[in-house]
Chains A and B, each alone.
Chain A
Amino acid sequence: MLETRPLAMRAVQVAFLALLLGLWFFAVGAAHVHRLLLPDPVNVWVEMRALAVSGALWNAARVTLTTVGEAYGLAVAFGILIGFSISRSRHAVRLFEPILSGIFAIPLTLFFPLFILFFGIGTGSKLAYGGLYALLPVAMTSIAAFARVDPGLIRGARSMGARPWALLRRVYLPAALPGILNGMRIALVICVAAVLGGETLASTAGVGYAIKLAEELMDIPRLYAWLAFVVLASFALNLLLSAVESWSIEA
């Protein structure tokens, strides 16, 4: 999508980020922006190191990451299963697909209070919320991917005596994989956002909760420190996903 002269591109981006950092220092220093809104970058850096060293970072991250991991795992497994089952009949596809995309259009965030009601404010509610939210794109892309598998391939494999399990493994999954992977990528981003959002809204642990707590306690440098960690982590995740995408394209 974006091509040619990557070096010049990088230069512009680095310059832009440097400019933002410079603006931050300026705003805090010369422009006297209120410390409650924007803390001194140096303080934020100190706080970041404190969080990392004290283990608070790891404790919160562990909760969030396990929740995301479990929710995502369930979402992918069930999403592919549901997607495959529905894709078997064209009629079922036409019946269910609009329902799924309709639900996706209404942000599930609406139903978040219900998740709290059913599962309490522990990690269970975030798991259910993130899992369900991530399930939808996986299911929808799986339906499309499985339905589009070339029937010629299936007939060919069957005529050579392939049994249902082998058919699934050797024909359906590889053929549908690009589409499913696309849905999985979207689902991962959604899952992370949903779990973090849920933790921010109502939780007792995790990164989102830590952020909310920092704000309630008016510990602004700490708030920014947590935000900085999440931003860096999301950049890293984004780079990872892009790398996976280009690797899978080449393969």
Chain B
Amino acid sequence: MTSLLAWSGLRGQRTLLLLALFLLWEVAARLFADPAMIAAPSQVLSVLGPRILADPHVLAAVGLTLFELTVAFLCSVIFGLLIGLAIGASAIGRRGVMPIVLLLYAIPQAILLPLFVLWFGIGPLCKITFGFSHGVFPVILSTVAGLRGASPLLLSGARSMGASRLQIIRHLLFPHMVSVLFSGLRLSMTLTLLGVLLAELFVSTSGIGYFSQVFAQTFDPAPLFALIATLAAMAVMLNEAVRTVEHRFTRWK
């Protein structure tokens, strides 16, 4: 009885829906689809162990990607914060430099890939810098937004109690900025991931780009699916990690 109740809730329905999709995929893959293009979930699962997780080369490639991601993300946060503080601190910065930053943000950065490879080679540096160039923007934007947005009502309240300028910065401006910053962190993680992945796929001489190409060119799509599934799982976990950190620091919301 209790198991039935558990399944009838929202989470249960969503799980059922996903299971149904998987079932559909399995049936379609086995019966209709071209086996050179689509692998069934069962096949994917069966190769996941031996071909992906147990293969030291593939695992190394995935690990390298994770490393590049972490470095790029941390750089995005640190430098984004510094740049954002520099821009947001003055009116010239906000009104003059910020529009340029926004225009740069609007450029479809994927086209810059060949340029980054030209400048930084085909090693991890290129992937890290490319990921950084994606992830730094949301951090800059939310830092600048955070510096401005402190509520005038709260400022009045603090002033009326005799708060000094330093106290206002410490107890009002800074916490406000941090809270806005955190909301930009998840977007930064997503974009950093996007950048690193793009770069990895572009450089197909090593890393997951290489393996994607190799798996795609054999007529055995199961390992490719398995690789992508692994990376997707990694992406979801990273996202959740950032979200957990975000929640821990913004419990008061």
Contacts and interface: CB of A to CB of B under 8 A. Distances in A.
A206 B220 CA distance: 29
Contact of B197 (A9, A110, A116, A235): A110
Given A106-B232, A118-B37, A235 B98 contact: no
B235 A107 contact: yes
B108 interface: yes
A34 to B, nearest CB: 10
A10 to B, nearest CB: 9
Contacts of A235: 103, 106
Interface residues of B, number: 50
Contacts, number: 136
A92 B122 CA distance: 46
Main secondary structure, interface of B, reads: helix
B232 A9 contact: no
A117 B221 contact: yes
Interface in B96-133: 96-100, 102-103, 106-115, 117-119
B13 A95 contact: yes
B231 interface: yes
Main secondary structure, interface of A, reads: helix
A238 B104 CA distance: 10
Given A94-B10, A95-B17, A238-B103, A36 B108 contact: no
5 contacts: A13-B99, A13-B100, A37-B119, A105-B239, A113-B228
Interface of A: 2, 4-5, 8-9, 12-13, 16-17, 36-37, 94-95, 98-99, 102, 105-107, 109-114, 116-118, 189, 192-194, 196-198, 200-201, 207-208, 211-212, 214-216, 220, 223, 226-227, 230-231, 234-235, 237-238
